[in-house]
Amino acid sequence: PLGPTPLQKEHQLQFQMMEAAYYHLPQPIDTEKLQTYFHRSPVQTPAHYPQAQLPIYDTVEFYQRLSTETLFFVFYYMEGSKAQYLAAKALKKQSWRFHTKYMMWFQRHEEPKIINDDYEQGTYIYFDYEKWSQRKKEGFTFEYKYLE
């Protein structure tokens, strides 16, 4: 039984300011670290594309199903995010190891020829993020102190 009550003058002023603000709404990008790739501005995809996230999308198990290439894509293009963190964990589970000096991922290609407490030497596969491909490196010395 209360019914509507007329807006007082101060509320009308508030409404005008709110209405003006409505035309400059905050966007997801406004509170996201400046980064060169992939701002959080979701694009409207056709409705028949799956719109909801897969239920376990942010778990290591889900990332382990992704191909190595995809994991490297997530790692190098979504830096500073949980996705990068999960991709790194999934890569390690596929026995890749991150070299903190070269900032690249390496994977043993065969049993190392030399191995001691400080390093191992042998043939490795590494992921070259500039050429975006996996390459072999013969006789590489992998120093454990650079292992992340």
Tokens 């020829």 locate to 113
* Beta bridge pairs of residue 141: 121
With contacts defined by CB under 8 A, name the span among 83-91, 110-118, 120-128, 137-145 that binds other proteins.
83-91
Is residue 25 within the footprint of other proteins (CB under 8 A)?
yes
Q: Please tell me the count of residues contacting other proteins according to CB under 8 A.
A: 58
Report long-range pairs for 6-14 (Cβ below 8 Å, ≥24 apart): none
Selected binder of other proteins within 46, 47, 76, 110 (CB under 8 A):
76
**Using an 8 Å Cβ cutoff, are 100 and 148 in contact?**
yes
**Using an 8 Å Cβ cutoff, are 112 and 130 in contact?**
no
Selected binder of other proteins within 9, 26, 47, 111 (CB under 8 A):
26
Phi, psi angles (nearest 5°) of residue 28: -50, -35
Selected binder of other proteins within 64, 66, 92, 98 (CB under 8 A):
98
Binding site for other proteins (CB under 8 A): 1-5, 7-8, 11, 13-22, 24-26, 28-40, 42, 51-53, 57-58, 74-76, 78-86, 88, 98, 100, 103, 129, 148
